[in-house]
Amino acid sequence: MELTFLGTSAGVPTKQRNVTSMILNLVGIRKSYWLFDCGEGTQHQILNSEFKIPRIDKIFITHLHGDHIFGLPGLLCSRSMSGSTDPLTLYGPKGLKQYIETALLISASYLTYPLDIVEITAGQLFDDGELIVTAYSLDHRVECYGYRIEEHPKNGMLNAIKLANDGIPRGPWMQALKAGETITLDDGRVINGADYLGDPIAGKVIAIFGDTEPTAQAVLLAKDADVMVHETTLESAFEAKANERGHSTTCQAAQLARDAGAKRFIATHISGRYSEKDIPMLLAECQAIFPATEIAVDYLTVKI
C-alpha cells in the first residue's frame, strides 16, 4: 500500500500546502483508492497527481470542519461527470448525510453512481477479508474520529526443505500449498499445505487521526502501527492554545507515537502560521521524543 498526502495544512490553505486530504493506494491488494478527508481543492490536487477520481471507492471523513469536507461535493460531482457508475461508500460522523444531500439538492446536482453514506460510531466499520477498518472516538470541538486500517496476516513462506525431504515435487499445486490448502498428488498422497508453512506474516497497520487533543483512545488507535499519521498543528510552546482548540502539539503527538509503539510517525495538519523555514524547528521537537518522525508535505508518498 502507499499513502499520499494531498493536503497538509490546518484550517486554511497556504501557498505551499493545501488543506487536509490523503489517499491510500491499495496497490498490491486491489485496483482502488481510499480517500481520507476532502478539504477544499482536493480534486485539484488529484488532477496534479497520478490518481484517477473514478477509482476512489471509499471516502472516510474524520469530522465535519470545513477544512476536512469543503472539497467533497465537488469531488463527488466530478466523479459523476466522468461517467463513473461504480459504487462509492462515504463514512463519517452524524450530519454528513445531511451535508451531502443538501449540497446536491441545492446545486441541482445528480450522481451517475450509487452513493452509500454511512454515519458512523466508534467500533469496527467492516472487515472485507483483506482489510479491517475500525473507527476510534477522538477529542475535538466537534464529533471526530480516527481510523485504524489493519491488513489481515499473510500465510508464512513454504518450507522448501521440508517439501524436498518429504518427496513432494514442484508443480502446479504449489500455489495451493502456499495458500494452506489441501491437495492430492498424482501418486495419491493427500498433502495439507498448512503443514509446510512458516509462521504467519503480520499484516500492516495504519493509524490515521483526525483533529484531536491528547486522549486515552489515541494509544489504542495507534498501537504498534507501521505508520501513524497525526496532526501537529502547533509547536510545543503553544500547548495550552492547541489543547483549548482541540488540537495537539508536536511534542504531544511524538509522545503518543512513542507510547503506542508506532514504527513511523508522519506529522501533518500544520498551522498556516508556520512557513517552510519553520518546519525544521517543528521536526526537531518531534524527533527529540520520537526519532522516526517525518513532517509531510503535499504529495509526499509513504510506502507501507
Give the residue numbers marked as catalytic. Answer: 67
Q: What is the dihedral of CA 96, 62, 85, 25, to 10 degrees?
A: 180
Residues 6+ apart with CB under 8 A from 96: 61, 64, 69, 90, 117, 119
User: Is the Cβ–Cβ distance between 265 and 252 less than 8 Å?
Assistant: no
Q: Please, what's the b/e burial string for 64-86 (b: 16 or more CB within 10 A of its CB; e: otherwise)?
A: bbebbbbbbbbbbbebbeeebee
User: Is the Cβ–Cβ distance between 236 and 199 less than 8 Å?
Assistant: no
Helix (H, G, I), strand (E, B) or coil at 37: coil
Cβ neighbour number for residue 251 with a 10 Å cutoff: 18
Question: What's the order of all strands across the beta sheet hosting 115-119?
Answer: 115-119, 88-92, 56-60, 33-36, 21-25, 2-7, 301-303
Instruction: Find the DSSP H helices in 150-296.
Output: 160-165, 174-178, 217-222, 239-244, 250-260, 279-287
Give which of 53, 13, 37, 148 is closest to 90, Cα–Cα: 37
Spacing of C-alpha 226 from chain mean position: 11
User: Is the Cβ–Cβ distance between 206 and 304 less than 8 Å?
Assistant: yes
* Backbone φ/ψ region at 83: left (φ over 0), alpha (ψ -120 to 50), beta: left
